Amino acid sequence: MKKLFFGGVHPAGRKELAGHDKPIPAPAPAQVVIPLRQHIGATCTPLVQVGDTVKMGQKIGDGAGLCVPVHASVSGTVTAIEPRPHISGVPVESIVIDNDGLDTPAEEMQAYRSHAQLSRQELLDIIHEAGIVGMGGATFPTDVKANVPLGQIDTVIVNGCECEPYITADDCLMCSNAEEIIMGLRIMIRIAEPKRAIIAVEDNKPDAIREIEKYLLDYPDVELAVLPARYPQGAEKQLIAAVTGREVPSGKLPKDVGCVVFNAATYASIYKAVYEGKPLIERIVTVTGEGAAKPKNMLVRLGTPLSFLLKAAGGARAETIKIVAGGPMMGKAQKNLDASVVKGTNGIVCLTKMTRVKDPVCIRCGKCADSCPMKLQPLYLYRSEQAKDYDELRRLHIMDCVECGCCAYSCPAKISLVKSIRRAKAAIKGGK
């Protein structure tokens, strides 16, 4: 098979478990917990107080700088503003709302008939006010990422690869709401004024491809790139290499090579913000894994506790030994299921088997380096982290690691390479 980017692996997909049928609406919980940080950047400041009545879609937190607002996903009463469990593993200041069951809508955002009547800045403002972030897991504020000088971006890309095993949330979205994604792309074309617009999908999603092709008959200026399935093709630097042949240099961003990439769900949220006046208060989540009793895709309110969502999806089997928020390659194991669904939560995976190696030892086989899509040397990163040699880690460009997990997947000794790298990156960010 042709390698469209360096490295990568082919883990078992297991996407057939949840399938890609139209998402089932999850019931709203009696209480939602809305973290005030669901994005890369500053934590929001609460705009409400305990005892306040809020409406569904009302902005309840916002802040300055690199920050986007959060909104109430139900109507009801604010009962607490305090640190609560978060899928990151670190408690986050959150707004707790008791659901009144009425879903009384807020009327803060306006719906427009056409984005053509709006200026570039007006569209960016709408995206910001809707609280839209990268919904593939990166959670970088979308309006900030899109706000680059005109002429700098010549290629806008829709990331519909969804290369993580088990997860089919984007596949489900593309099959059931392809038109929303394409209309979101039209809005981004209005903002960036690129020369090319490309929808990238892996070839293991034939139904999504057919659905997109049907709508693209009306938009001949949009290209469809069908790529051979390979992990981590959904990482934006690897996707840019696969689609355009351009390589993003170390320390640089996609905009430096004239590209901008957004997840398919992000584009659909942009459409809803502009054409329906809806902020980001719900998303499709794949509940799956061999330990899931009834794997499926569900449309879930943000702030829904993971425990509630799992129960609504049929529960986890007794043999489940680990529950991961996100996919098994890059997701994070959850110790506390009181954590809630946030903007970047695309899946909950119930795993029943784990491979453990007692006292793993690196045999310097080089498989981790062969599979690293960033062309790093994970074995030396691991050794330097163990020695706490942070100068050497910097020399080895550790901050270029995207934590995709290809190295750990390839390692025959099952060394926790990603865990080691995350620990080293955190230390360097902390001033080491």
What tens digit of pLDDT does each residue of 377-418 get?
A: 999 999 999 999 999 999 999 999 999 999 999 999 999 999
Splitting the chain (432 residues) into consecutive groups of 10 residues, what average pLDDT does each group show? Answer: 76 94 96 97 97 98 96 98 96 98 94 94 98 94 96 97 97 97 98 97 97 95 96 95 94 95 98 98 97 97 98 95 95 95 97 72 92 95 95 96 95 93 94 86
What ranges in 74-204 are assigned the alpha helix state H?
Answer: 120-129, 142-146, 169-192
**Order of all β-strands in the sheet with 59-62:** 45-46, 59-62, 70-71
Domains belonging to the chain, first-starting first, are 24-108+279-351 (no CATH), 115-275 (3.40.50.11540), 367-429 (no CATH)
Q: How far apart are CA 315 and CA 291, in angstroms?
A: 9
Residue 12, Cβ density class (10 Å: 0-12 exposed, 13-18 middle, ≥19 buried): exposed
Q: How far apart are CA 417 and CA 16, in angstroms?
A: 29
pLDDT for residue 357: 61
pLDDT for residue 4: 77
pLDDT for residue 3: 54
pLDDT for residue 1: 36
Could you give the C-alpha distances from 225 to 127, 228, 254, 263, 415, in angstroms and in order?
26, 10, 18, 15, 36
Q: How far apart are CA 160 and CA 222, in angstroms?
A: 14
pLDDT for residue 2: 45
**Total-model pTM:** 0.94
Q: How far apart are CA 167 and CA 350, in angstroms?
A: 12
